[in-house]
Amino acid sequence: MGSEKIFPDAVWLSRSREAEMTATPFRACLEPVEARNFGARSPLLGHPSQDPVPMNSAFRTSVTEKPTPDIKRWRRAAIFRQLGPGLITGAADDDPSGIVTYSQAGAQFGFNMLWTMLLTYPLMTAVQLVSARIGRVTGSGLAKNIGGIMPKPFVMAIVALLFIANTINIGANLAAMGAAASLATGGPSVVFTIILALVSLTLQMFISYETYARYLKWLTLVLLAYVAVLFVVKIDWTNALKGLFWPTFPLNGDSFTVIVAILGTTISPYLFFWQSSQEVEEIDHSDDKQPLKEKPQQAPKEMRRINLDTTVGMAVSNLVAMAIMMSTAATLHANGKTEIGSAADVAEALRPIAGDFAFILFSLGIIGTGLLSLPVLAGSAAYAFGESQGWKCGLENKPWEAVGFYSMIAAATLLGLGIEFSPIDPIQALFWSAVINGFVAVPIMAAMMVVANKRDQMGKFTAPAPMLIFGWGATIVMALAAAAMLVF
């Protein structure tokens, strides 16, 4: 009996698909596996397809031939689409406040603090992977999960300190952004500061989450400005490599202070809360996605995405930090300028040494990373406070649907703006913000590691041993850094 009599529809489909794919084999190559179902065993579902359509020669040719430039571009685009919360989190780590820290390290010690990036990368990646995993598996943010193992007064104290530290950071970042815009255009810095604060707040409150997330994702490209500076200034690559793998610096209070500041900048509590909450947002925004505890069949794909997103995001963060250190080491340190007051001071100091182009690139980076960091700082404080109170949270909601959540975003932003008009020294405030973050990070990280290993909360998706080892290692390092703050 011929196959036409047994599967008439399948034979018709096979012939029509063969004609289509012969005409457009590239289109066939891009079709999802689930749509093709050529009788092959699915690696995700673990069983053969029931579709009797045979694999035709056109498709075999499309997958065995060397990929065309169009296919390569599509693959790169597919990878970029998988980047989101992790990339934005990593980029937000290089905010104007972080720029000051990295610039100070480069100006004061030359290339000899580059090694810290090799130390912090696996530690910060492990911690951010844990925070993302908790959000994606449970469908709830960090504050709610930590509240399940810690007394509420303790959680509220941590959240309050996080809000204070984030508000100070917002104020310092807004001041740096306004100053950079003023240096670049000649206008009044206060006016620029106010405009940038209101623009950021308006975007957070009145555009859709999908649009806003896309805006933040593309804004991460501004970090390329700092990489571009490396091609403008003259770098001693031999000394740079030596500073990365075999540094020499005095073991004293100044060096320990800079090392602690770098640790506090790269491993910050607000980044934990933000990435975890963004994973929850991704679930709430899609009808198909569910917490992995409820829909474990989504785990392979989602865990691969989280791993890629986070490792790439943290790599971008550290590479940009290295670029900033190298730029200031090759210019400011080489010319005897070892003290940094603000991020705008760095841009201004680069002008006579490295030229106007380096100055413009650095100023653009300050404004761009500031716009990226403001929603992360304000949003993470709002997520933490709202989740601890049981409020409705999320950027997918309209302001009138989540009044408490958006009120916290507005309060953090406007109070941060108020620092510009107060007698408070932003740089001193930033120092105390780093101190607060250093002490708050330790119990938060310890609680995260406990949550990530609890089957009651994580089900069968508890963190694997390597992730826990590096996570606890990061917690111990941060505890030592906090202790060092008291000494130095």
pLDDT digits (tens, 9 = 90+) for 223-277: 777 788 888 788 889 999 999 999 988 888 788 888 888 888 888 899 999 899 8
Residue 79, pLDDT score = 54
For the chain, which ranges sit under pLDDT 50? 1-64, 71-77
| Structure confidence by residue, pLDDT tens digits, 174-210 | 988 888 888 888 888 899 999 999 998 998 888 876 6
| Structure confidence by residue, pLDDT tens digits, 430-458 | 767 777 888 888 999 999 999 999 998 89
∠ Cα 133 138 139 (to 5°): 100
Contact 106, 339 (CB under 8 A): no
Torsions phi, psi for 155 (to 5 deg):
-65, -40
Distance CA 234, CA 231 (A): 7
Closest by Cα among 70, 118, 107, 56 to 325: 107
Distance CA 107, CA 121 (A): 22
Residue 68, pLDDT score = 57
91-122: string of b/e by CB count within 10 Å (b at 16+)?
A: bbbbbbbbbbbbbbbbbbbbbbbbbbbebbbe
Residue 34, pLDDT score = 41
∠ Cα 227 232 238 (to 5°): 75
Q: Would residue 211 be called left, alpha or beta, if left means φ above 0 and alpha means ψ between -120 and 50 degrees? A: alpha
Distance CA 129, CA 310 (A): 6
Contact 148, 457 (CB under 8 A): yes
- Average pLDDT taken over every residue of the chain: 79
Ordered structural domains, the chain, with CATH: 3-65 (no CATH), 82-487 (1.20.1740.10)
Contact 274, 394 (CB under 8 A): no
pTM reported for the whole predicted model: 0.77
Residue 354, pLDDT score = 63
The percent of residues above 70 in pLDDT, for the chain, comes to 78
Contact 429, 171 (CB under 8 A): yes
Residue 322, pLDDT score = 93
